[in-house]
Amino acid sequence: MAHDDLHKLKDQAQYDFTTEVDYAHTVRRGLGEDIVRELSAVKGEPPWMLAFRLKALETFLRMPMPTWGVDLSSLRFDEFYYYMKPVEQEARSWDDVPDSIKETFERLGIPEAERKFLAGVEAQLDSESVYSSLKEEWEKYGVIFVDMDTAVREYPDLVREHIGKVVPIADNKFAALNSAFWSGGSFVYVPPHVHVEIPLQAYFRINAQSLGQFERTIIIVDEGSDVHYIEGCTAPQYSTAALHTGVIEIFVKRGAHARYTTIQNWSTNVYNLVTQRAVVEEEGRMEWVDGNLGSGVTMKYPAVVLKGRKAHGEVLSIAFAGQDQYFDAGAKAIHLAPETSSVITSKSISKANGRSAFRGLVRINRGAQGAQAKVVCDALLLNPQARSDTYPYINVAEDEAQVEHEATVSRINEEQLFYLMSRGLSEADASALIVNGFLEPFVKELPMEYAVELNRLVQLQMEGSVG
């Protein structure tokens, strides 16, 4: 984070803070219709939202578990709480946060207030006020950027029109779970021909909810508009809840451009099962920039559905699987219209017994003449036990289309290591530099402050002190 700027903003904004604190509310452990009804009631939702949730629950219960990807056999749905108000999370004490996490905050140089927030100890009232001053700026242009609960209250028609349209309830079991229990997440609407200059950062909007287990985010970028949305933070997000299933739905209208950047660094007790998808209309552009460092297991395949002529989609992702981490991540590009193009670039690093699998799907439907797709995935293994797999699925039904696929697996090169060490760098520092170089194509797409933190995180991950 650009801490200094942030603090300046906080100072300016601290007087216009007005928020009532909610009462703590936790439902019983496990899932059931009673819980869906209760949480919907607590949120004061309209009947259509409750109906959506109930339908999703029914779908979830009916759907089988995925039989591919990571091993989910030890996942017990009954063990979790499915709704916790932010206040409840606040009640957790700083003393309960594991030392390893605190130490990492220390090493990242994250200010005290932010640390507590990231650890889920207290709601970030300060950032709420930062948000409100930025909000004024956006509102001038008609940009809506609120949390999803607010959106359901204040923009019910917009939400109703879009929710579940890009990621249907029955898309997969975890999308159904999210649809039943979602809480928190962002709602963004950018009116036609508005270029939002400053990236919209969930960080500014955040309250403890958006760090929740089941965030639901909807981003609508109307014709000719441009927005960059950033979710998450490079600091480890400590969570006592071990299940995270988010759903992100993005609508890129004609000639619009959206970029969604996320770096997840959940603590290693977390199952991270996320569905991210964008539908892109004529001449629109969508870019997913997706970093995965944390969690115990992750399944995540940001997708672009290229629906209009000349729509373009990119997925740029990295995964760094350390000790006991298993990632099954990748991307999907679905070409439905002529002259659509997609680029999928994946970089994965595996260390210790970490496993990282790339699963990439490219589908080109009949009629998508002149479609072009390119998939590049590079894996770097840091030691002999680490493992990397590639599962490309390429499905082309159109003769006049072009698909390129390249995959490489490499190890740290001995000559590079010698070269750097002959210049005084220790073996660990030299390796970290090589790894940072490997990730550079990703890092250079990040805003400066994230790039700095990511490099640092990689270094910690290399030393084995994170995760």
Partner 1 sequence: MADHTLEIRDLHVAVEGKEILKGVNLTIHTGETHALMGPNGSGKSTLSYTLMGHPKYEVTQGEILLDGESLLGLSPDERARKGLFLAMQYPVAVPGVTLYNFLRSAVSAVRGYTEAARKAGNNRLNAHLIPARAFRQEVNEELAKLKMDKAFLRRYLNEGFSGGEKKRAEILQMALLKPKFAVLDETDSGLDIDALRIVAEGVNRLQAELNLGLLVITHYQRILNYIVPDFVHIFYEGRIVQSGGASLVEKLEAEGYAWLEAEVA
Contacts of 396 (CB under 8 A, 6+ apart): 362, 363, 364, 403
Q: Return the range that interacts with partner 1 (CB under 8 A); candidates 29-37, 83-91, 249-257, 419-427.
A: 419-427
Nearer to partner 1, 61 or 425 (CB): 425
Q: Which of 17, 21, 419, 464 binds partner 1 (CB under 8 A)?
A: 419
Q: C-alpha angle with apex 56: 26 to 205, nearest 5 degrees?
A: 55
Q: Which of 96, 411, 440, 464 binds partner 1 (CB under 8 A)?
A: 440
Which of 439-456 are b and which e, b meaning 16 or more Cβ less than 10 Å from the residue's Cβ? Answer: beebbebbeeebbbbbbb
Query: Cβ atoms within 10 A of the Cβ of 365, count?
Result: 17
CA 341 vs CA 139, 351, 370, 401: distances in Å: 34, 33, 9, 10
CB of 464 to partner 1, least distance (A): 14
Question: What's the rounded Cα separation, in Å, for the pair 96 and 75?
Answer: 24
Q: Return the range that interacts with partner 1 (CB under 8 A); candidates 58-66, 322-330, 354-362, 429-437.
A: 429-437
Q: Which of residues 312-351 bind partner 1 (CB under 8 A)?
A: none
Question: What's the rounded Cα separation, in Å, for the pair 264 and 91?
Answer: 24
Q: Return the range that interacts with partner 1 (CB under 8 A); candidates 56-64, 267-275, 390-398, 435-443.
A: 435-443
Nearer to partner 1, 94 or 418 (CB): 418
Nearer to partner 1, 305 or 466 (CB): 466
For residue 407, state whether it binds partner 1 (rule: CB under 8 A): no
For residue 447, state whether it binds partner 1 (rule: CB under 8 A): no
For residue 418, state whether it binds partner 1 (rule: CB under 8 A): yes
CA 242 vs CA 80, 239, 320, 371: distances in Å: 8, 7, 19, 41
Nearer to partner 1, 73 or 422 (CB): 422
For residue 436, state whether it binds partner 1 (rule: CB under 8 A): yes
CB of 432 to partner 1, least distance (A): 9
Nearer to partner 1, 14 or 413 (CB): 413
Place of tokens 């309960």: 96
For residue 5, state whether it binds partner 1 (rule: CB under 8 A): no
Q: Which of 439, 451, 454, 466 binds partner 1 (CB under 8 A)?
A: 439
Nearer to partner 1, 108 or 230 (CB): 108
Binding-site string for partner 1 from residue 87 to residue 106, where x marks contact by CB under 8 A and - marks none: -------------------x
CB of 415 to partner 1, least distance (A): 5
Which of 159-198 are b and which e, b meaning 16 or more Cβ less than 10 Å from the residue's Cβ? Answer: beebbbebbebbbbbbbbbbbbbbbbbbbbbbeeebebee
For residue 107, state whether it binds partner 1 (rule: CB under 8 A): yes
209 DSSP 8-state letter = G
For residue 111, state whether it binds partner 1 (rule: CB under 8 A): no
| Amino acid of residue 41 | A
CB of 461 to partner 1, least distance (A): 14
Q: Which of residues 269-298 bind partner 1 (CB under 8 A)?
A: none
For residue 387, state whether it binds partner 1 (rule: CB under 8 A): no
| Amino acid of residue 411 | R
Task: Judge contact between 219 and 260, C-beta under 8 A.
Answer: yes
Nearest to 213 by CA among 140, 158, 270: 270
Query: Cβ atoms within 10 A of the Cβ of 419, count?
Result: 13
Nearest-Å Rg of the Cα atoms of the chain is: 22
For residue 411, state whether it binds partner 1 (rule: CB under 8 A): no
SS3 237: strand
For residue 412, state whether it binds partner 1 (rule: CB under 8 A): no
Q: Give me 419's structure tokens.
A: 């070269």
For residue 441, state whether it binds partner 1 (rule: CB under 8 A): yes
For residue 427, state whether it binds partner 1 (rule: CB under 8 A): yes
Q: Return the range that interacts with partner 1 (CB under 8 A); candidates 162-170, 312-320, 354-362, 422-430.
A: 422-430
Report the residue count for the chain. Answer: 467
Nearer to partner 1, 301 or 438 (CB): 438
Q: Which of 234, 438, 451, 458 binds partner 1 (CB under 8 A)?
A: 438
Q: What is the DSSP string of 267-306?
A: -TT-EEEEEEEEEE-TT-EEEEEEEE---SEEEE--EEEE
Query: Cβ atoms within 10 A of the Cβ of 75, count?
Result: 15
Give residues in contact with partner 1 (CB under 8 A): 106-109, 413-416, 418-427, 429-430, 433-434, 436-441, 452, 456
